[in-house]
Amino acid sequence: MAVTIRLTKTGRKGEKKYRIVVKEKRSDRDGRAIETLGWYEKRGKEESKSIDMDRFKYWISVGAKPSDTVARLAK
């Protein structure tokens, strides 16, 4: 089972709100997640985020691959 850390979209149409989740690589974007690690929201040029870095590091240590966007957000 290949596991990845990626974004899943939430909120209403036109809003840029996402959850940072751990999922199986072949699952749908908005499908069931193994674990939710945090959230990311962008409004215009502002962005806010919250990531549980302890759990993020744990999933990386057991072999989960973050998407490019999630890797950028985690820095």
**What pTM does this model have?**
0.87
Decide if 22 is inside a domain.
Answer: yes
User: Residue 56: inside a domain, yes or no?
Assistant: yes
Based on the structure, what is the number of domains in the chain?
1
Does 75 reside within a domain? no
User: Tens digit of pLDDT per residue, the chain (75 long)?
Assistant: 799 999 999 988 888 899 999 999 888 877 889 999 999 998 888 889 999 999 999 999 999 999 999 999 998
| CATH code, domain with 62 | 3.30.1320.10
| Alpha carbon distance 11, 26 (integer Å) | 23
Q: Domain limits at 13?
A: 3-70
* Residue 66 belongs to some domain of the structure: yes
Residue that is written with structure tokens 């699952």 in the block: 27
Distance, CA of 8 to CA of 17 (rounded, Å): 9
